[in-house]
Chain A
Amino acid sequence: MTSTTTVSETPGAKPAAPRAAKTPGGGLGRYILIRALLIIPTVFILVTLVFVLMRTTGDPITAALGGRLTADQLQERIAAAGYDRPLIVQYLEYLGQIATGNFGTTISDNRPVVEVLVTYGGATLELAFYSLIVAFLIGIPFGLVAAYFRDKGQDAVLRVFAILCYATPVFFAGMILKLIFSVWLKVLPVAGRASTGAELQMQFLPNPTGLYTIDAIRTGNPAVLADVLAHAVLPSIALGLLTAGVFLRLVRTNVIGTLSTDYVDAARSRGVGEYRLVRTHAYRPALIPIITVIGLQIALLLGGAVLTETTFEWKGLGFMLAEYLQARDFVAVQGIVALLAVIVALTNFVVDILAALIDPRVRY
């Protein structure tokens, strides 16, 4: 092993000299720049990983059309698409395409992946937005209650509730909600983003946004808006509950920390009411770590969106991903996954900047 040399190097890097040097300089601008540059290796690694993994198994044409074409026809298609060239050439070409924003063309229905994103991304965005609202509405107040009643009955119930939120797969939660509210009580629609009538009305809008809530408002017809919102209720709850559990636990732990600080004691001794104590003195400082974690929740939400959209036939990116998986269209899968990698990296970047704006300590 050649490792002995490296061992002696690392402890040597420890002295505080470089640390002290950067404390005066490190401004917000520099921090943002470094964070922006960090997006590149993250996206690069994920795209490479996905490419290598998907290509080592064989070419996508055989996977998609294997049973349906003769060997000769397959060979022809493979050669036409360039999948018979060395892997490294294909890889470099792929990187070049991605750099110019071209994520490939699907095999099954011959559409550019970027177009798939533009068409269906809005639906996923809408779903993610609504479920984040659900998560906040449930997670934050209940987290405060659990922290305030720490180790009492209320806390126990809420903690088990939080674990249940996490333990229930979104598709199972979705199916149960469907069963209760759509099939038995018949108060909410079973699936889809809007009923056919509402969808028709929205189609006649000049440049529809794809975000049904906005489009529905633009039609000026309250019935359309009500229809769109009614369709969004169950999917948002199913996906929102998953994140709500995480928020609940996070708020609880952080507020427990701030509740035991001296300034809360001081405020209490000055006669500040208990409600105000929790709401203002303990909750506000506990928010900072919560904002940072929302960034990581985006990944969880996107994963959950695939399952939720499949459960509710919510035609978003996740639904399409599942469709392409069924069709064994791995070019489309690779494209969508690479695109999602970019989205995740960008969201993390934005959240990091937000956290740095709120809390100067983050900007080391």
Chain B
Amino acid sequence: MTDAIATRPPKRLLRDRLPVVHQLRQSVGLQRGMLVAGLILTGLFIFTAIFAPLLAPYGFNQLRDIDGPFGSQQPPSSAHPFGTTVGGYDVLSRTIWGTQTALLVIIAAVVLSIFAGVFLGLVSGYFGGWLDRVLVVICDAIYAFPSLLLAIVMAIVISGGQSSLWGGVLAAAISISVVYIPQYFRVIRAETVRIKAEAYVESAKVLGASNSRIMVRHVLRNATRTLPLIFTLNSSEAILTLAGLGFLGFGIEPTAAAEWGYDLNKALADVSSGIWWTALYPGLAIVLTVLGITLVGESLNDLADPRLRGRRRVAKASGAVAETSVVPGGTLIAGPGGLDGLEDGESFEEHGIEVKS
């Protein structure tokens, strides 16, 4: 992607420049199948979220209609195709409305963590110095910690545990984004450190460009190529974290919004008595949504890595293949070892770059 400047044709077609469309055209065979399947599932999820008010037969907190109350734990019937919950809600409606909550939380969480993570990573990588070292150590510490526990702590801090729709969505989003800021931070910082050494940054500096101009125009523009991948991988983690929080009782109140994790928490007791419909559908909704987003993310990840792009010859040429760099957990060498360099007075840069031997 970086040599696009050197070989830039007069005008690249729009369809080649759009992130996902480009990869779709680039992919072949099995990889294309996975990407398409992921895109369909994700599209379905977004579609359901947007049109939830039209698709859902009842409201998410509706307990009765003109025929009277729905009743508790009713098995699937024509009036309630997925049955009703122990609290007397319609399972189908709550599953559909749940997509909306999930989408809102993903958007809020990812936007928050992208902004904070990208900003911190850019500043830290570009200026270096003590700020960089402190931020790296903090992010490494957070990164190594179980994300769900951190999200729980954050949820307590923000909402004290119980919340309304917007309060709940925001609390969940902030809790989740605190967990994922280190990931964006690491990737952007590593890229920034690499790009900073490029000749064109040097020349911009010589020309007298200001720091902020260099950071935005020269570094950030080139450092964002991996963002779509982290974006997808984090959205799926955000859904799982939200569901985990809901399952532990830190979800959004059922009267404020529908949330799958909360519904599964309430369904836990049902399962022991053989009531399957209250657990199955919200659970499946989580699985399919995460599956769809992850399939997209995985395909983008593989397509971005020439060693995994599906041609065996390429893999052969590049020698030992470690884990792909962007997937969480692939940044071990850059992990807590970052401080090691400090002790030796070594330049800090190379620990951030995710080179694996």
Contact = CB atoms under 8 A, between A and B. Distances in A.
Interface of A: 1, 3-4, 6-7, 9-11, 13-14, 18-19, 22, 34, 38, 41-42, 45-46, 49-50, 53-54, 56-57, 63, 150-151, 155-156, 159-160, 163-164, 166-169, 171-172, 175-176, 178-179, 182-184, 190-191, 246, 249-250, 253-254, 256-258, 260-261, 289, 292-293, 296, 299-300, 302-304, 306-307, 310-311, 321-322, 325-326, 328, 330, 333, 337, 340-341, 344-345, 348, 352, 361-362, 364
A258 B268 CA distance: 45
Contacts of A57: 156-157, 160
B310 A163 contact: no
B349 A14 contact: yes
Interface stretch (B45-53, B105-113, B284-292): B284-292
B68 interface: no
B357 A361 contact: yes
B157 A34 contact: no
B144 A179 contact: no
A296 B146 CA distance: 9
Nearest to A257: B321
A258 B298 CA distance: 21
Nearest to A171: B247
A310 B145 contact: no
Interface of B: 29-30, 33-34, 126-129, 137-138, 140-142, 144-149, 152-154, 156-157, 160-161, 196-197, 211, 236, 240, 243-244, 247-250, 261, 264, 267-268, 271-274, 276, 279-280, 283, 286-287, 290-291, 294-295, 298, 307-308, 310, 312, 315-316, 319-324, 327, 329, 332-333, 336-337, 339-340, 343-349, 356-357
B156 A42 contact: no
Contacts of B264: 169, 171-172, 175
Question: Closest 9 interchain pairs by CB?
Answer: A257-B321, A10-B128, A303-B146, A172-B283, A167-B290, A303-B148, A45-B141, A13-B347, A6-B129
Contact of B315 (A257, A300, A310): A257
Count chain A CB atoms within 10 A of each CB in B307, B337, B349 and give the residue with the most: B337
Contacts, number: 236
Nearest to B282: A172
B161 A151 contact: no
Nearest to B351: A364
Nearest to A63: B160
A38 B336 contact: yes
Contacts of A42: 137, 140-141, 144, 336
Contacts of B321: 253-254, 256-257, 260
A306 B248 contact: yes
A133 B138 CA distance: 32
Contacts of B236: 167
A49 B154 CA distance: 10
17 contacts: A7-B126, A10-B128, A10-B129, A18-B345, A42-B137, A46-B142, A53-B156, A169-B247, A172-B279, A178-B272, A257-B307, A257-B319, A257-B320, A261-B320, A311-B268, A340-B145, A344-B145
B274 A183 contact: yes
Contacts of A326: 249
A348 B336 contact: yes
A166 B294 CA distance: 9
A187 to B, nearest CB: 15
Nearest to B214: A7
A322 to B, nearest CB: 6
A337 B128 contact: no
B126 to A, nearest CB: 8
A125 B264 CA distance: 26
A296 B332 contact: yes
A163 B140 contact: no
A168 B133 CA distance: 37
Contacts of B290: 166-168
B128 A41 contact: no
A47 B232 CA distance: 31
Contacts of A361: 357
Contacts of A340: 145-146, 149
A314 B197 CA distance: 53
B161 A54 contact: no
Given A46-B141, A253-B321, A325-B249, A7 B127 contact: yes
Contacts of B33: 156
A45 B339 contact: no
Contacts of B345: 18
Given A190-B272, A289-B356, A302-B146, 12 more contacts: A18-B346, A22-B346, A57-B160, A159-B298, A160-B34, A163-B295, A166-B290, A169-B243, A184-B274, A310-B247, A333-B156, A344-B144
Given A167-B287, A293-B332, A151 B29 contact: yes
